């Protein structure tokens, strides 16, 4: 049979009519038994072969196909009495309340009904949701006490969960309800929202129950040979049993009471068959006491069909392992262990041009690298090379048009991903580089977009199976195409840690290299360019400056000037004459002034890198990043760089000055408290006196901490000059490689005020935080000010307060991660099918416009200048730079 390709245009949900269920079903289930003693399915039972097969070897009694081919066929149970479908219980109630009990019309005058009909019609035409109109109708129709059509009296109808209706205190049986719904005419049904093609009101009440095919409820055989049935089968058995008893009793003319009891029981079983978590209904349980997983439970929730099998799926051709760094590969590459490369395959079509190569690869087979795991015939059948006995015979058969599933090889494009995938840079396309050992290797510059580190992180890799996908991934998703972040319009891929401190040290003015040093450094960094002429120093010796060598990796003709990270924000900027070398000037691709630091090519802030991507190309940017990182890593490796506790040493003089500042701060705090007590404190706007005091104290203490930090920094710098040796900790902080001056302050000078939820420590014993203080003490120490530095060590009380502050952060991260996950889910659900159309509007899948212009300015953030569509100042400066070179 040829399968005709068809396209799904839409899906329409409706009710199944009893006739439809009967027509649809292949047999009527008549017995609750499933298997006979020999383990064969009983005819007319729930496991009847005509419902499909799940056991290998058997053939379907309806379509005569085997397991896997036969999709299964529905059966039916003829219910002895009708029952309410719980899913529609509420709607039935609404309908019942709106129609007349005698004539079956909606209890509204014809013209009102006509109005509603018109409204629904127009709403349908413009694609508007009709739910609210129908709600209005139900609301209006339930009030009349008399039917406007037949004048019949109306009694109050009550609904008792889950499926009982009372009219004037009298119980309505499902049969009564069904009878009433049957009386509703077609026009009224439409007004109440029923689409007559697929639904009639009375179909909400079941007279026939469809029995899903066995393929939807396969039984499993335990090791002991015992059969274990699916929960749905169990439930269906219950339904059949009760149904039979009910039928027998009715036939035998049993008393009404007994019949009603059984009817109720049947209702219960059918209810729990649909949904075992209906409020007010005790869940049906398995013998072990575990609640059964019935239809609704299969679909609902995180483990349900939708979230677990439809929105999310497991994939083939993927690999996962621990990641580790490799500074020698390009940012575009990913190192893949050979074992993984042997397992993952890519289909390659055999052509007359490559047939010999393909045959070689087939010969290598699945165990040698590079080889192949499968050969696919033009008809789509796959032959596993691990199982092929006669290879020569196979090789004979291989012709152009076959496909070879060959191992991953260097240069193959794959997708690489790290969870949580919070932005699009969490999945990028990399080129493969097969490497020894068992971890994925990645360039350090791509750590920021993935938010990866190497403390045991694992990542996933997906081998792309189609040419089209491969091309798309290569053009759109390659790492180098993602350097600029669509979040802030600057590079998100860039140098980190040692790249930054390395570049800083490398480009400082007093960094000099002899000719041989320079050659070695440049060559080993893979730069193949001729060096400029060396400079000559005061001793008449030739040398290369770091800036000269750095210029080798800057693209030719680049002009740029900006303030470096180390800029001290002087009142008046001397620009090119900056005495701290913090004003970077690049002319015609030559670094003339300023040092390279975080602002040059760091992730999130690299100006130079930003310029290269935007003014040159992503290829140039990749080459720049690859070579600049190699160069500075080589440089810093040769120089050596380490930090130790002595980086936090301060001279006595500095300690005294810090001590002095803290003493003053304490004094000021006491003064403030005294002023407060004497009622001399002035209100800050919108604050109570107490709040004012708190804020002023916080301010004084935080200023004090900052001052001590400044002093510490000042002395660290002085010491550097005195000892003619850089302070590594400080270098890292100022260049932006790692850590901040605040971290340094806390280590060397003073940890500062500890806060819980933005306030000084306030809870604790009555009137004080700790019993070490006097009641009512609101001074600095008593409320969590830590005057010690991490290096000098904290006192027990300080340590405790510090732990209090630290705990808050810990709790935050612990609680936030779970919350943000949920938030992400909701956002994704709300936004997933919005896209920018070719007319620049943002629309959802229905074509409804969400925004007329994307972001209301139509800008692609990653092409903007740090989010600004134009930065006039920058353009002027660049023009000036260009002029300056002439």
Partner 1 sequence: MLDRKPILRSFLKKREIVRQHIDSYNDFIVHRLQQIVDENKIIVTDVGVDVELGKIRVEPAEVIEADGSHNRITPNEARLRNLSYFSPVHLQMKLNRSDRKGDFEEVKIGMIPTMIKSNICNLYSKDTEELLDIGEDPLDPGGYFIVNGSERVLVTIEDLAPNKIMLEKNERSSKVTEVAKVFSKRGGFRALVNVHRDKDALIGVSFPSIPGDIPIIVLMYALGMGSHQEIINTITDDPLLMDDILINIEEFAHVTDTEKAMEFIGKKVAPGQTKEYRLKRAEDALNRYLLPHIGVIEEDRLKKAHYLGRMVVRILELSAGTREVDDKDHYANKRLALAGDLMEDLFRVAFYNLLRDVKYQLERAVVRGKEPFVKTAVRSDVLTERIRHALATGNWVGGRAGVSQLLDRTNYLSVVSHLRRVVSPLSRSQPHFEARDLHPTQFGRICPSETPEGPNCGLVKNLALVCEFSTGLPEDELEKQLESYGIKKIEKAGGT
Q: Identify which range of 290-298, 659-667, 740-748, 810-818 contacts partner 1 by CB under 8 A.
A: 810-818
764 part of the interface to partner 1, by CB under 8 A:
yes
289 part of the interface to partner 1, by CB under 8 A:
no
Full 3-state SS string of 119-140 = HHHHHHHCCCCCHHHHHHHHHH
- Output the smallest distance, CB 784 to partner 1, in A: 9
- Output the smallest distance, CB 807 to partner 1, in A: 4
688 part of the interface to partner 1, by CB under 8 A:
no
779 part of the interface to partner 1, by CB under 8 A:
no
- Output the smallest distance, CB 548 to partner 1, in A: 49
* CB 627, CB 527: distance < 8 Å: yes
- Output the smallest distance, CB 814 to partner 1, in A: 4
508 part of the interface to partner 1, by CB under 8 A:
no
* CB 298, CB 425: distance < 8 Å: no
- Output the smallest distance, CB 652 to partner 1, in A: 20
One DSSP character per residue, 507-557 reads TSTT-EE-HHHHHHHHHHTT------PPEE-TTS-EEEEHHHHHHTTSPTT
* CB 325, CB 446: distance < 8 Å: no
Q: Identify which range of 274-282, 584-592, 733-741, 808-816 contacts partner 1 by CB under 8 A.
A: 808-816
Q: Give the pair of three-digit tokens for residue 98.
A: 């709106």
Instruction: Show the site string, 366-385: x = touches partner 1 by CB under 8 A, - = not.
Output: --------------------
For residue 664, give the 3-state DSSP assignment.
Answer: helix
- Output the smallest distance, CB 746 to partner 1, in A: 18
- Nearest CA to 673 out of 696, 651, 650 is that of 696
- Closer of 710 and 794 to partner 1 (Cβ): 794
| From 811, 831, 850, 876, residue interacting with partner 1 (rule: CB under 8 A) | 811
- Closer of 253 and 814 to partner 1 (Cβ): 814
- Closer of 287 and 757 to partner 1 (Cβ): 757
770 part of the interface to partner 1, by CB under 8 A:
yes
- Closer of 50 and 787 to partner 1 (Cβ): 787
Rounded CA gap, 603 and 595, in Å? Answer: 17
- Output the smallest distance, CB 792 to partner 1, in A: 12
- Rg of the chain on CA atoms, in Å: 39
Between helix 728-735 and helix 689-723 the angle, nearest 10°, is 120
Instruction: Show the site string, 221-260: x = touches partner 1 by CB under 8 A, - = not.
Output: ----------------------------------------
| From 225, 814, 847, 873, residue interacting with partner 1 (rule: CB under 8 A) | 814
- Closer of 312 and 796 to partner 1 (Cβ): 796
**Considering only residues 597-626, where is the footprint of partner 1 by CB under 8 A?**
none
Cα torsion through 330, 628, 739, 449, rounded to 10: -30
Task: Tell me which DSSP letter residue 781 carries.
Answer: G
| From 322, 422, 689, 810, residue interacting with partner 1 (rule: CB under 8 A) | 810
Distances from the Cα of 881 to the Cα of 561, 611, 884, angstroms: 7, 14, 5
813 part of the interface to partner 1, by CB under 8 A:
yes
* CB 779, CB 673: distance < 8 Å: yes
- Output the smallest distance, CB 501 to partner 1, in A: 30
Distances from the Cα of 653 to the Cα of 39, 412, 717, 723, angstroms: 93, 62, 14, 17
818 part of the interface to partner 1, by CB under 8 A:
yes
- Characterize the bridge pairing of strands 590-593 and 583-587: antiparallel
799 part of the interface to partner 1, by CB under 8 A:
yes
- Nearest CA to 561 out of 608, 603, 621 is that of 608
Rounded CA gap, 784 and 777, in Å? Answer: 12
* CB 558, CB 526: distance < 8 Å: no
**Considering only residues 703-762, where is the footprint of partner 1 by CB under 8 A?**
756-757, 761
Binding residues with partner 1: total (CB under 8 A): 21
| From 306, 437, 765, 879, residue interacting with partner 1 (rule: CB under 8 A) | 765
What sign for the dihedral angle of Cα 677, 679, 681, 683? positive
826 part of the interface to partner 1, by CB under 8 A:
no
Q: Identify which range of 23-31, 533-541, 736-744, 807-815 contacts partner 1 by CB under 8 A.
A: 807-815
Rounded CA gap, 291 and 297, in Å? Answer: 10
Please give the residue ranges that form the binding site for partner 1 (CB under 8 A).
756-757, 761, 763-765, 769-770, 799-800, 803-804, 807-808, 810-811, 813-815, 817-818
């Amino acid at each position: 049979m040829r399968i005709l390709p068809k396209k799904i245009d839409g899906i329409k949900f409706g009710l199944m009519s009893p006739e439809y269920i009967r027509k649809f079903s292949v047999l009527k289930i008549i017995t609750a038994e499933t298997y006979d003693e020999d383990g064969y399915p009983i005819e007319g039972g729930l496991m009847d072969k005509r419902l499909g097969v799940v056991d290998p070897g058997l053939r379907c009694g309806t379509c005569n196909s085997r397991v896997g081919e036969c999709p299964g066929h529905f059966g039916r149970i003829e219910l002895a009495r009708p029952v309410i479908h719980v899913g529609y219980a509420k709607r039935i109630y609404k309908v019942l309340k709106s129609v007349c009990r005698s004539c079956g019309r909606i209890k509204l005058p014809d013209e009102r009904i006509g109005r509603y009909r018109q409204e629904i019609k127009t709403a349908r035409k413009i694609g508007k949701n009709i739910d609210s109109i129908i709600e209005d109708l139900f609301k209006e129709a339930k009030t009349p006490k008399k039917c406007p059509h037949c004048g019949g009296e109306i009694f109050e109808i009550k609904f008792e969960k889950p499926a009982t209706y009372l009219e004037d205190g009298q119980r309505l049986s499902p049969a009564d309800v069904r009878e009433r719904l049957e009386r509703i005419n077609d026009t009224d049904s439409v007004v109440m929202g029923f689409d007559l093609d697929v639904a009639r009101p009375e179909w909400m009440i079941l007279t026939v129950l469809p029995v899903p095919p066995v393929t939807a409820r396969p039984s499993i055989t335990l090791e002991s040979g015992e059969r274990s049935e699916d929960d749905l089968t169990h439930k269906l058995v219950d339904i059949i049993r009760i149904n039979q008893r009910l039928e027998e009793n009715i036939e035998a003319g049993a008393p009404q009471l007994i019949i009603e009891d059984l009817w109720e029981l049947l209702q219960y079983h059918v209810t729990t068959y649909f949904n075992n978590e209906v409020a007010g209904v005790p869940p049906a349980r398995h013998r072990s006491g575990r609640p059964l997983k019935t239809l609704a439970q299969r679909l609902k929730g995180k483990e349900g069909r939708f979230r677990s099998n439809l929105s999310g799926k497991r994939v083939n051709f993927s690999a996962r392992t621990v990641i580790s760094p490799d500074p020698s590969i390009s940012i575009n590459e990913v190192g893949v262990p050979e074992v993984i490369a042997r397992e993952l395959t890519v289909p390659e079509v055999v052509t007359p041009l490559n047939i010999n190569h393909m045959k070689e690869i087939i010969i290598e087979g699945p165990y040698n690298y590079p080889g192949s795991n499968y050969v696919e015939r033009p008809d789509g059948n796959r032959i596993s090379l691990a199982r092929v006995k006669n290879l020569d015979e196979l090789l004979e058969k291989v012709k152009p048009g076959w496909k070879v599933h060959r191992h991953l090889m260097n240069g193959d494009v794959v997708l690489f991903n790290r969870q949580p995938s919070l932005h699009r840079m969490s999945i990028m396309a990399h080129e493969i580089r097969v490497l020894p050992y068992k971890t994925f290797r990645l360039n350090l510059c791509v750590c920021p977009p993935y938010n990866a580190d190497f403390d045991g992180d694992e990542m996933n890799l997906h081998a792309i199976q189609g040419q089209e996908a491969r091309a798309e991934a290569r053009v759109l998703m390659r790492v180098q195409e993602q350097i600029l972040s669509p979040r802030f319009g600057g590079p998100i891929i860039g140098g980190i840690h040692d790249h930054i401190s390395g570049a800083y040290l490398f480009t400082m003015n007093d960094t000099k290299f002899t000719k041989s040093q320079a050659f070695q450094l440049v060559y080993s960094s893979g730069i193949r360019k001729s060096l400029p002429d060396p400079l000559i120093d005061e001793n008449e010796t030739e040398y290369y400056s770091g800036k000269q060598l750095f210029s080798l990796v800057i693209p030719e003709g680049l002009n740029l000037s900006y303030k470096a990270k180390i800029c001290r924000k002087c009142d008046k900027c001397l620009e090119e004459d900056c005495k701290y070398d913090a004003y970077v000037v690049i002319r015609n691709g030559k670094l003339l002034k300023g040092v390279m630091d975080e602002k040059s090519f760091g992730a999130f802030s690299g100006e130079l890198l930003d310029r290269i991507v935007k003014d040159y190309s992503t290829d140039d940017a990749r080459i720049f990043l690859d070579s600049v990182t190699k160069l500075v890593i080589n440089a810093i490796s040769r120089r050596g760089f380490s930090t130790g506790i002595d980086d936090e040493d301060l001279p006595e003089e500095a300690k005294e000055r810090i001590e002095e500042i803290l003493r003053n701060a304490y004094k000021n705090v006491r003064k403030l408290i005294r002023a407060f007590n004497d009622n001399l404190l002035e209100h800050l706007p919108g604050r109570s006196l107490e709040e004012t005091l708190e804020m002023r104290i916080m301010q004084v203490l935080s200023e004090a901490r900052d001052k001590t930090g400044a002093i510490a920094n000042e002395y660290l710098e002085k010491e550097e000059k005195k000892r003619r040796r850089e302070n590594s900790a400080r270098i890292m902080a100022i260049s932006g490689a790692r850590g901040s001056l605040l971290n340094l302050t806390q280590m060397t000078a003073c940890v500062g005020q500890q806060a819980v939820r933005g306030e000084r420590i306030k809870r604790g014993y009555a009137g004080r935080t700790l019993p070490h203080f006097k009641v009512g003490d609101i001074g600095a120490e008593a409320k969590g000010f830590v005057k010690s530095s991490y290096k000098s060590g904290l006192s027990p009380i300080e340590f405790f307060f510090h732990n209090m502050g630290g705990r808050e952060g810990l709790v935050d991260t612990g609680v936030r991660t779970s919350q943000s996950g949920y938030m992400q889910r909701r956002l994704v659900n709300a936004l997933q099918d919005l896209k920018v159309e070719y007319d620049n509007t943002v629309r959802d899948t229905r074509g409804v416009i969400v925004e007329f212009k994307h972001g209301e300015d139509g800008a692609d953030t990653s092409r903007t200048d740090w989010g600004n569509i134009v930065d006039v100042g920058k353009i002027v400066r660049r023009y000036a730079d260009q002029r300056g070179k002439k």
